[in-house]
């Protein structure tokens, strides 16, 4: 347990990095979609999308999962403190699914830049915000 605080600190840092990617990548998709007919612009956005998910988002996601799993292993009694941890982990499953859906959208938009409407992408961009709010409330407030 001596290293628990260090693991927690790294968990929070990796979660923040992962969330930054989850907030920004859909915004890049909106720019990609709205400028689909401007090849020079979309060529640059495609590179940004790729680097953001491959070099920041996915490593941060795995770091979040590994550090979180390590903390659960070290403090397995946390599951008996209420249902908040179970709810948080369920939200995490949805966040991971959202992450992989972004990769699917990115790959589809390479060949079909008119894949989704800007309005749809703007609404989809709100999913990680709602999940993040829920996760933070579960961890800090522990409502049940």
Residue pLDDT, tens place only, 51-73: 999 999 999 999 999 999 999 99
pLDDT value, residue 101: 98
- Look at the pTM and tell me if it is higher than 0.85: yes
Please, are residues 49 and 29 in contact by the beta-carbon 8 Å criterion?
A: yes
Q: Which tens digit of pLDDT belongs to each residue from 5-55?
A: 999 999 999 999 999 999 999 999 999 999 999 999 999 999 999 999 999
* Both structure tokens of 112: 């079909």
Helix pair 127-140, 4-34: axis angle to 10 deg: 160
- Quick one: average pLDDT of 77-88? 94
Which positions ≥6 away from 19 have C-beta within 8 Å? 128, 132
Which of 96, 100, 112, 129 minimizes the C-alpha distance to 27?
A: 129
């Amino acid at each position: 347990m001596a290293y628990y605080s260090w693991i927690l600190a790294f968990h929070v840092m990796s979660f923040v990095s992962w969330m930054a990617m989850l907030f920004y990548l859909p915004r890049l998709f909106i720019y990609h979609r709205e400028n689909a007919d401007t090849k020079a612009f979309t060529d640059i956005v495609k590179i940004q999308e790729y680097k953001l998910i491959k070099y920041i988002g996915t490593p941060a996601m795995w770091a979040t999962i590994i550090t979180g799993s390590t903390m659960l292993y070290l403090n397995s009694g946390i599951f008996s403190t209420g249902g908040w941890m179970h709810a948080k982990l369920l939200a995490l499953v949805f966040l991971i699914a959202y992450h992989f859906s972004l990769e699917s959208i990115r790959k589809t938009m390479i060949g079909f830049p008119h894949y989704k409407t800007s309005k749809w992408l703007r609404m989809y961009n709100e999913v990680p915000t709602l999940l993040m709010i829920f996760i933070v409330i579960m961890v800090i407030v522990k409502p049940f």
